Amino acid sequence: QLQESGPGLVKPSETLSLTCTVSNGSISGGRYYYTWIRQPPGKGLEWIGTLYYSGSTSYNPSLRSRIAISVDTSKNQFSLNLTSVTAADTAVYFCAEGLNFFDPWGQGILVTVSS
């Protein structure tokens, strides 16, 4: 139901841009909450931020200055932009449905930050 897409390689200091396509049409249908979560290779999970159906967002304080999550209801997609990336941003990025807990999840996309 959710599928991440975007480049698998991003250069340091550039912007990471990912899109999550929701196949069940729930974005255009009204009330929804969608979230981005990432997982560095071999490590644990980190919440990035959540998009509310009202258009508002909540972000991880540690990333807030660099992230933006937006929605395109006409395409049933929501997006993540992460600016000024470094090697520490190398991770599998997941999109998921939910506000407080998450189900379902996309399969994830590995994004490597390297020159």
Under the rule (CB under 8 A), what is the footprint of other proteins?
A: 44-47, 50, 58, 60-61, 94, 96, 99-103, 105-108
Strands ordered across the beta sheet of 77-82: 2-5, 16-22, 77-82, 67-72
Shortest Cβ 44–other proteins spacing (Å): 5
Nearer to other proteins, 101 or 114 (CB): 101
Nearer to other proteins, 61 or 115 (CB): 61
Nearer to other proteins, 74 or 101 (CB): 101
Question: 22's torsion region: left (phi>0), alpha (psi -120 to 50) or beta?
Answer: beta
Shortest Cβ 84–other proteins spacing (Å): 22
